[in-house]
Amino acid sequence: MQYFVTTKTPITQESDCIVVAIFADGELSPSATIINEQSQGYINKIIERGDMSGKAGQTLLLQDVAGITSPRVLLVGCGKKDKTNEKDFNSAITAMTKVLNESGATDATSCLAEIIVNERSTSWKVRQTAITAETALYKYSRTKSDVKPVKSPLEKLGFFAQDDSDALELASQTGLAIANGMNLARELGNLPGNICTPTYLAEQAIEIGNRFDTVTTTILEESDMQTLGMGSLLSVSRGSREPAKLITMNYQGAGDDRPVVLVGKGLTFDAGGISLKPSQGMDEMKYDMCGSASVFGTIIAIAELNLPINVVAVIPSSENMPDGDANKPGDVVTSMAGKTIEILNTDAEGRLILCDALTYSERFNPEIVIDIATLTGAIIVALGSQATGLMANNQDLADALLKAGNDSHDRTWQLPLWDDYQQQLDSNFADIANIGGKEAGSVTAACFLSRFTENFTWAHLDIAGTAWNSGKAKGATGRPVPLLVQFLLNHIENK
């Protein structure tokens, strides 16, 4: 969808639909007030009849309102006036977009960016509108045989503003780029494991390299990884007929600057290996590659925006399956860093592929390394589906990620990474065990990874609770693409 900024007043807009906010208790936004006055109190009459309460996400589509150029006016509830929060705003945008897309209006102008949302700037509201609108329009259809297209889908969405049109145009394009990245992450995550294999991910990375001159893609095969000594990563793929891939996408936007390295866990299906997962819900283990999907999405977002920064994506990709040659509990493998690992649970495989990818990242002389992984069920118990878990070996980096999460409303919460937890990983038979017992599972997983990050500034994002939704609304969310892009934008600004 195309996005644009307009300074025309609501009553003179020539788009197919004008969208205005109604607050709880029947209070009107500035643009709604203008339309109400022009139509001789028509909106007030609707509210008095009880047809519109202003609850966040409520909508009412009006036709041919007197005195208004546009043939349609859409009233959207935004909660209490001056107390609209980010959740209310997102609910309003989602509802707005779905109604518009089915209304017959091919272009519309939204006046919702004029309302107060927790002191967020107009630019933030414009960017968030683009992100949320694209999320509302996304529908997975790749493996469906009967997909009925919308007859007259929404094609253009404008933002009414009185000034700062250049800043708002940039905000809308930034939002669209982030949304495009999220949609790619959703699509990769939602694809079934028999389509989205490590080879498929590698092919998508090659396509991105061909699409953008700023991106160079490299694929390492299992023989290459064997030469590099990636015994930990390769031990996970031994149980699968699908060959592992180590995917690198190098985005070059800032000359010789040291890069930010993003390491995304790419387990395209995780059956647990010999430590087999329960059958209930195992279908959702196709989402175990959502860390890699978010890195794919981030790369195309920053490439579309042509950001002046260097970013390297490193994606270790494999399946984790039970087989006669699969890892067994009690096996000992040797990582690329030379550390030996006792595998006490084959279902703690994400850290086994990530540790070699983290070691591999050193060759890029990184300024910062961030890994993103659906790593532990324990993080879901701790934080639910609201916040991504964050652990880091550098507090400045942790603070920067926390700020980026708040700025983007794709939030994180920091957990400790104290040395006190490291003893849980002690092994009688290797340098380190791959699990640390039932206590503090998310923390000990990060402690494991920290053993391979001693030579650089590093943070770990555990997205097991935020990467996808279960139940009736099952599907990948595209998170934490907004967080990662915001972090990179802030990093550029602070340089």
CATH label of the domain that carries residue 350: 3.40.630.10
Is residue 165 assigned to a domain?
no
The answer to the question of residue 168 being in a domain is no
pTM of whole model > 0.95?
yes
List, in sequence order, the alpha helices (H) in 311-460.
350-361, 378-383, 395-408, 441-450
Domain limits for position 426: 179-494
Known catalytic residues are 277, 351
Distance, in Å, from the CA atom of 52 to the CA atom of 30, rounded to the nearest integer, reads 17
- From 160, 194, 214, give the residue that closes a domain: 160
Q: What does the alpha-carbon distance between residue 318 and residue 315 come to, in Å, rounded to a whole number?
A: 10
**Is residue 170 a part of any domain in this protein?**
no
pLDDT score at 203: 98
Q: Please report, for the domain that includes residue 66, its CATH number.
A: 3.40.220.10
At 10 the pLDDT is 86
Residue 295: both structure tokens together: 């890195």
Q: Which two tokens stand for residue 454?
A: 């001693």
| Distance from C-alpha of 445 to C-alpha of 440, rounded to nearest angstrom | 9
pLDDT number for residue 429: 98
Same domain membership, residue 255 and residue 127: no
Q: Does some domain include residue 267?
A: yes
Closest by CA position to 370, among listed 230, 222, 481, 264: 264
**How many domains in the chain?**
2
Q: Are residues 452 and 372 in the same domain?
A: yes
- pLDDT value of position 147: 84
- Specify whether 403 is located in the same domain as 440: yes
Is 172 part of any domain?
A: no
DSSP character string of 20-78: EEE-GGG-B-HHHHHHHHHTTSHHHHHHHTTS----TT-EEEEES-TT-SSSEEEEEE-
Q: Does some domain include residue 105?
A: yes
pLDDT at res. 148:
83
Closest among 220, 204, 412, 252 to 316, alpha carbons compared: 220
- CA-CA distance, 150 to 104, in Å (whole number)? 9
Q: Which amino acid is at 354?
A: L
Indicate if 194 and 156 belong to the same structural domain: no
CB 125 within 8 Å of CB 167 = no
Let me know: does 357 contact 236? Beta carbons within 8 Å: no
Dihedral sign for Cα 286, 288, 291, 292, please.
negative
Q: Which residues pair with 3 in a beta bridge?
A: 157
Could you tell me if 85 and 225 lie in one domain? no
Residues 448 and 306 placed together within one structural domain of the fold = yes
Given this model, what pLDDT does residue 165 score?
79
Which residues of the chain have a pLDDT value below 70? 164
Same domain, 56 and 139: yes
Question: 404 and 356 share a domain?
Answer: yes
Task: Give the model's pLDDT for residue 350.
Answer: 98
Per-residue CA distances from 232 to 10, 106, 225, 448 (Å): 61, 53, 10, 13
Q: Which two tokens stand for residue 373?
A: 């992984």
Same domain, 371 and 458: yes
Tokens of 443: 């923390």
Bridge partners of residue 334, in order along the sequence: 340
Residue 479 placed within a domain: yes
199 and 266 inside one domain: yes
| E strands, 120-279, in order | 156-160, 215-220, 245-252, 260-264, 266-270
pLDDT of residue 146: 86
Is residue 173 situated within a structural domain? Answer: no
pLDDT of residue 152: 78
Q: How big is the CA angle at 193 (ends 333 and 331), to the nearest 5 degrees?
A: 15
CB 374 within 8 A of CB 350: yes
pLDDT at residue 418, as a whole number? 97
CA-CA distances (angstroms) from residue 442 to 264, 342, 464?
17, 18, 10
Indicate if 69 and 195 belong to the same structural domain: no
Q: What is d(CA 12, CA 384) in angstroms, rounded to the nearest whole number?
A: 46
424 and 386 in a single domain? The answer is: yes
Domain boundary among 130, 160, 190: 160
- Dihedral of CA atoms 456, 459, 460, 463 in degrees, nearest 10, equals -150
From 108, 132, 160, the end of a domain falls on 160
